[in-house]
Amino acid sequence: MSSKESNPYENAMKQLESTASLIKLDPAAHEMLKSPKRILSVSLPIKMDDGHVKNFQGYRVQFNDARGPFKGGIRYHPNVTLDEVKALATWMTWKCSVVDIPYGGAKGGVICDPKNMSTAEKERLTRRYTAMIADFIGPYRDVPAPDVYTDSQTMSWILDTYSQLKGYQVPECVTGKPIALGGSEGRNNSTARGCIICAREAAKQLRLPLKGATAAVQGYGNAGSWSAVFLQELGVKVVAASDSSGAIYSKSGLDSAKTLNHKEQTGSVVGLEGSEQIEPEKLLELDVDILVPAALENSITAHNAGNVKAKIISEAANGPTTPEADAILEKNKVLIVPDILANAGGVTVSYLEWVQNLNREHWTEDQVNERLEQKMVAAFNASYEMSKKLNVTMRSGALALSIKRVADAIQLLGIWP
């Protein structure tokens, strides 16, 4: 880390500290939430395709399980650090709590460069990692899921390895699996669906009619492209979209399906017929009603927050708004639906997948979406009410709600032995 400010775990602990004083958190619960319950650090020697053995470093951080089994993704990335994994495990605890699903929070990471590894090498790495942490994961203990550079195939390898070690098939040991192995319908667009449900509920609070409202979507990957689809279904006109290659604008509105089709064919949204190219940073400052940041963290900063004209920001990405930007946006009366709530649709449907697996059931997409809708609306309303009660931003309200729920569980359980 180049500086203390950039340490994600210290940032997570600062959030806990400020929330603790806001809700007058019980000192014992606060003390227990200052560090993860368990940190696993594993050495992963793998035979590479050319025959030589390479040693990789892997982590699984289990932050808190007072509300249920640990839950969280596994990422493969050359820049994985233990502090990053600890921070993500902390935030997963709050995310599961804010949508009121019976999970704690965890996160996993392996320091590797998956872009320069063959499928066979990634499979051997995944199976080795699973075997090394197998005694600490499982349906009632810790349920992994995909994250950066891991996917449903990675989950299939974890499921198979874990099941081979147990001697029987255990589909409920991971979520984010392919449908053929017990994955859930509706999982692929659940993050975006949850994000736009939150944007819709925010619009209700502001008495903003969605028919004819305008929106801009930053990032046109899975979450961004599906967000555009769901906004369009609500009658919102998506006038701008961007990806890593650039940004486009159309006053009359972009057709979400055509935009995605163009991106899939050309590799970028840029050049879509009927659109003009704009500077990517200008997208964030357009005069629109709803802004959906679905790209990288720290997109909205102290430098551009004052120019943001959107009335609602629904954060599909993790950490797209810096704390300094938050303060400016609050002053300008922008309603931000924070990431721990806005993008919790993914973990909510992961929970629904786990429930289906435990009961050996398979629900229709409509059944899944109906349950997701109920969870997200309830979580939005509870967070909004908490923010009003404490007279704070919705981000602070959502954190206060989630941390209080975890602390209540800790106090009720007590300390043993």
Angle between helices 365-390 and 190-205 (to 10 degrees): 40
Angle between helices 222-233 and 256-266 (to 10 degrees): 160
Q: How far apart are CA 260 and CA 271, in angstroms?
A: 12
Third-level CATH fold of 35-167:
Rossmann fold (3.40.50)
Task: Locate all alpha helices (DSSP H) within 269-309, ordered by sequence.
Answer: 280-283
Same fold across 35-167 and 190-333: yes
Choose among 178, 176, 223: nearest CA to 199. Answer: 223
- pLDDT digits over 59-101, tens only? 999 999 999 999 999 999 999 999 999 999 999 999 999 999 9
Q: Is the pLDDT confidence value at 1 over 50?
A: no
The residue annotated as part of the active site, out of 37, 95, 107, 122, is 107
Domain regions of the chain by residue span? 35-167, 190-333
pLDDT band of residue 11 (cuts 50, 70, 90) is confident
pLDDT band of residue 4 (cuts 50, 70, 90) is very low
Q: How far apart are CA 334 and CA 189, in angstroms?
A: 26
Indicate the DSSP class of residue 287. Answer: S
Q: How far apart are CA 355 and CA 353, in angstroms?
A: 5
Kindly report the average pLDDT of the chain as a whole number. Answer: 95
- pLDDT digits over 117-167, tens only? 999 999 999 999 999 999 999 999 999 999 989 999 999 999 999 999 999
Phi, psi of 205 (to 5 degrees): -65, -35
What's the CA dihedral at 20, 22, 26, 32 to 10 degrees? -10
CB 244 within 8 A of CB 319: no
Q: Is the dihedral of CA 288, 292, 294, 299 positive or negative?
A: positive
Antiparallel, parallel or unpaired: β 142-146 and 214-218? unpaired
> Is residue 107 annotated as part of the catalytic site, yes or no?
yes
Residue with tokens 């080795």: 128
- pLDDT digits over 181-224, tens only? 999 999 999 999 999 999 999 999 999 999 999 999 999 999 99
CB 61 within 8 A of CB 40: yes
CATH of span 190-333: 3.40.50.720
CB 397 within 8 A of CB 340: no
Indicate the DSSP class of residue 55. Answer: E
